[in-house]
Amino acid sequence: QQQVKQSPQSLIVQKGGISIINCAYENTAFDYFPWYQQFPGKGPALLIAIRPDVSEKKEGRFTISFNKSAKQFSLHIMDSQPGDSATYFCAAGGYGYSTLTFGKGTMLLVSP
């Protein structure tokens, strides 16, 4: 019940395209869903997060879509740039849970 499943494992997108990464969770008590971006040799950086009271949250080129009934959420990167090439992790957590449960990560490569 604690798992977060992330797909795809890797993704290649052309510059200017839309990158889409999906996650599914099992624990209905989770109410906090962040996305992290990690560059090689660096720690993960908090990118954007959503709570289930909204179905979408947008910050710049990054959008989280959330489907509570399906227990799924996704990250959309609009106008993808080579500088977006990184590993992206979704996570889930909630009040009363000690920490976040992370997906396995998606390696994104944006080709010039």
Partner 1 sequence: EAGVTQSPTHLIKTRGQQVTLRCSPISGHTSVYWYQQALGLGLQFLLWYDEGEERNRGNFPPRFSGRQFPNYSSELNVNALELEDSALYLCASGQPERMEQYFGPGTRLTVT
**SS3 of residue 84 by DSSP:** helix
Residue placing its CB nearer to partner 1 in the complex, 18 or 38? 38
Residue from 13, 34, 47, 66 that binds partner 1 (CB under 8 A)?
34
Q: Does 93 bind partner 1 (CB under 8 A)?
A: yes
- Cα atoms found within 13 Å of the Cα of residue 60, Cβ hemisphere only: 7
Q: x/- string (CB under 8 A) for partner 1, residues 52-91?
A: -------------------------------------x--
Contact call for residues 54 and 66 (beta carbons, < 8 A): yes
Q: Where does residue 68 fall: left (phi above 0), alpha (psi -120 to 50 degrees), or beta otherwise?
A: alpha
Choose the stretch contacting partner 1; rule: CB under 8 A; options: 15-23, 42-50, 55-63, 68-76. Answer: 42-50
